[in-house]
Amino acid sequence: MIVFDKTYYFELENISFDILQESELNRMFKDGRIASKFLEIMIEKWFPDLQYVNARGHDHVSLTDGQKYEQKCFTKSGCRFMQSINFGGGRVFNEEKAIEHSSTMNYIICDILSFPKIRLIFKKGPDLTNQYSNCIIPLKDLEKLFN
């Protein structure tokens, strides 16, 4: 069962990929670009009432009520909970569209800074945009978010 604003704790074990050492993988999985794709599928295992759909603008759908969820990683750069169309090389942040999207979205934020230890929290988009209108949670707010 999903509970919003509750911190969940996970510790991954037996991480392997052919001849790469576990320490190498742990370092790699602290990068949200790498960890996200794996976590999106793991979340479906940890929370069976979510189905991984990898759709435009969201990653999961609730099997009980159809609500949409988007998974985001909290890294050493903080957490950007805007759509990827709003950040990256040559892209311009559109605050109005980002807030509009967030108002209909639930977020699954994964703290991967201590990978393979992961903290995860479910947040409602409007709650996040009320606090962070630029759709960026700074690193200094990590403990505030997960407490």
Residue 89 confidence (pLDDT) = 46
Rounded Cα distance, 84 and 137, in Å: 15
Q: Which comes out higher in pLDDT, residue 133 or 66?
A: 66
Give pLDDT tens digits for 3-62. 999 999 999 998 999 999 999 999 999 999 999 999 999 999 999 999 999 888 899 999
22 half-sphere exposure, CB direction, 13 A CA radius: 6
As a whole-number percent, the residues of the chain with pLDDT over 90 amount to 74
- Give me the chain's average pLDDT, please: 90
Tokens 């996200």: give the residue: 36
Whether 98 shows a pLDDT value over 80: the answer reads no
Instruction: State residue 19 phi and psi, 5-degree precision.
Output: -95, 0
* CATH assignment, 20-146: 3.40.210
Rounded Cα distance, 113 and 124, in Å: 22
Rounded Cα distance, 98 and 105, in Å: 11
Domain borders along the chain are: 20-146
